[in-house]
Structure 1
Amino acid sequence: MDWISPRQLKRLGMLNMNRRNVDYIARYNERSSYPLVDNKLKTKLAVSEYGVKTPRLLQVVRQQHEISGFRTMAEDLTGFAIKPAKGSGGKGITVITGRDGDDFIKASGARIPVANLERHLTNILAGLYSLAGTPDVAIIENLVQSVPSLAKYSFQGVPDIRIVVFQGYPVMAMLRLATTDSDGKANLHQGAVGVGLDIGTGRSLNAVQFNRPITLHPDTGLPLENIQIDAWPDMLEMAARCYEATGLGYMGVDLVVDAQEGPLLLELNARPGLAIQMANGCGLLPRLKNIEALKRPHFSPKERAAYSMKSFGRL
Structure 2
Amino acid sequence: MSWISPFAMNRMGLLNMNKRNVDYISRYNERSSYPLVDNKLKTKLVAAEYEVKTPRLLQVVRQQHEISHFRERADALGGFAIKPAKGSGGKGILVIIRREGDHYIKASGAAVTVAALERHLSNILAGLYSLGGAPDVAIVENLVESSPSLAKYSFQGVPDIRIVVFQGYPVMAMLRLATKASDGKANLHQGAVGVGLNIANGRSLNSVQFNRPITLHPDTGLSLENIVIENWEHMLHMAAHCYEATGLGYMGVDLVLDAQEGPLLLELNARPGLAIQMANGRGLLPRLRAVEALKRPHFRPEKRVQFVIKEFKDL
Letter paired with 1:34 = Y
Higher mean Cα deviation, 173-182 or 16-25? 173-182
Q: How does 1:270-309 map to 2 (within 5 A)?
A: 270-309=270-309
**Counterpart residue identity of residue 263, structure 2:** P
Q: 1:129 matched to which residue of 2?
A: 129
CA distance in 2, matches of 1:115, 1:10: 54
Return the alpha-carbon distance in structure 2 between the equivalents of residues 89 and 19 of structure 1: 22
Following superposition, the deviation at residue 145 of structure 1 comes to: 0.6
Q: Which amino acid counterpart does residue 198 of structure 2 have in structure 1?
A: D
1:213 deviation in Å?
1.3
Q: Could you tell me which amino acid in structure 2 is paired with residue 12 of structure 1? A: M
Q: Distance in 1 between matches of 2:269 and 2:257?
A: 18
How far 1:53 sits from its partner (Å)? Answer: 0.4
Equivalent pair of 1:9/1:282 in contact (CA under 8 Å): no
Taking the aligned partners of 2:74 and 2:24, their CA distance within structure 1 comes to 43
Q: Quick check: 1:92–1:129 contact (8 Å CA) kept in 2? A: yes
Q: When the two structures are aligned, how many residues end up with a matched partner?
A: 312
- In structure 2, the residue matched to 1:215 is 215
Q: Measure, in 2, the Cα distance between the counterparts of 1:134 and 1:16.
A: 31
What TM-score do the two structures reach when normalised by structure 1? 0.97
* Partner in structure 2 of residue 229 of structure 1: 229
C-alpha distance in 2, partners of 1:210/1:34?
29
Is 1:314 equivalent to 2:314 in the alignment? yes
In 1, Cα distance between the equivalents of 2:136 and 2:242?
A: 24
Residues in 1 aligned to 2:210 and 2:86: alpha-carbon distance in whole angstroms: 26
Deviation at 1:9, TM superposition (A): 4.6
CA RMSD of aligned residues (A): 1.3
Gaps (5+ residues) in structure 2?
A: none
Tell me, yes or no, if the aligned pair for 1:233 and 1:306 is still in contact at 8 Å: no
DSSP-derived class of the 1:132 partner: helix
Deviation at 1:221? 0.9
Write the letter of the residue equivalent to 1:47. A
Q: Secondary structure at the match of 1:267?
A: strand
Shift of 1:10: 4.0
Give CA deviations for 1:4-63 in whole Å, capped at 9, x if unaligned: x94545411100000000000000000000011000000000011111000000000011
1:98-177 alignment, distance < 5 Å: 98-177=98-177
Q: Which amino acid aligns with 1:307?
A: F
Instruction: Give the secondary structure class of the aligned counterpart of 1:24.
Output: helix
Shift of 1:314: 3.0
Cα distance in 2 for partners of 1:126, 1:72 equals 22
User: Is the 1:199–1:314 contact (alpha carbons within 8 Å) kept by the matching residues of 2?
Assistant: no
Deviation readout 1:144-194 (Å, 9 max, x if unpaired): 011100000011111000000000000000000111121211111121111
- Quick check: 1:88 aligned with 2:88? yes
Name the residue aligned to 2:53: 53
Query: 1:98 Cα shift?
Result: 1.1
Corresponding residue SS for 1:81: strand
8 A contact 1:203–1:229 mirrored in 2: yes
Supply the distance in 2 between the matched residues of 1:64 and 1:210 (Cα, whole angstroms).
41
The more displaced of 179-188 and 196-205 is 179-188
CA distance in 2, matches of 1:256, 1:24: 26
- Tell me, yes or no, if the aligned pair for 1:96 and 1:105 is still in contact at 8 Å: yes
Structure 1: tracts of 5 or more residues without a match: none
Q: How does 1:234-273 map to 2 (within 5 A)?
A: 234-273=234-273
**1:100 shift after superposition:** 1.0
Q: TM-score scaled by structure 2?
A: 0.97
1:119 CA displacement? 0.7
Question: Secondary structure of 2:253's partner?
Answer: strand
The CA distance in 2 between the partners of 1:65 and 1:183, in whole Å, is 33
Q: CA–CA distance in 2 between the matches of 1:45 and 1:269?
A: 16
Letter in 2 for 1:309: I
Q: SS in structure 1 opposite 2:132?
A: coil
Counterpart AA for 1:86: K
Residue 69 of structure 2 corresponds to: 69
The answer on whether the counterparts of 1:254 and 1:268 sit within 8 Å (CA) in structure 2 is: yes
